[in-house]
Amino acid sequence: MNLLFFIGLLLLMIGGALLVLKGGMFNGIIYSFRQFYKRTSKLEGYVSEQIEESPKSPINSSLIDLYMYPILLSGASLFFLTLFITVI
């Protein structure tokens, strides 16, 4: 029973992390790190002078959409099922 609870909790945490990533909370931070790397790396500076890069999303959202809801649903159901069984 304890193992099922922890598996459900882990799945719930992974699904929540995917939900936060899908919402774009860390896009600004990732963009800032990329800009910092471009400004501090000489090779990246030469490359960026030659080609113009369009701003793109740092995380592929189609993969997140595919896995997020099943992970959240299974994690929440396992978590609450084991919590309910433990109380009874």
User: From the centroid of its chain, how far is CA 6?
Assistant: 20
What DSSP designation does 24 have?
A: T
Residue 66 to residue 17: CA distance in whole angstroms: 14
pLDDT tens per residue, the chain (88 residues)? Answer: 889 999 999 999 999 988 888 888 888 888 888 888 777 877 766 666 677 655 555 556 677 778 888 999 999 999 899 989 988 8
Cβ(12)–Cβ(69) under 8 Å?
no
pTM over 0.75: no
CA 57 to each of CA 3, 25, 78, 82: distance values in angstroms, whole numbers, following the listed order: 37, 12, 33, 38
Distance of alpha carbon 55 from the chain centroid: 19
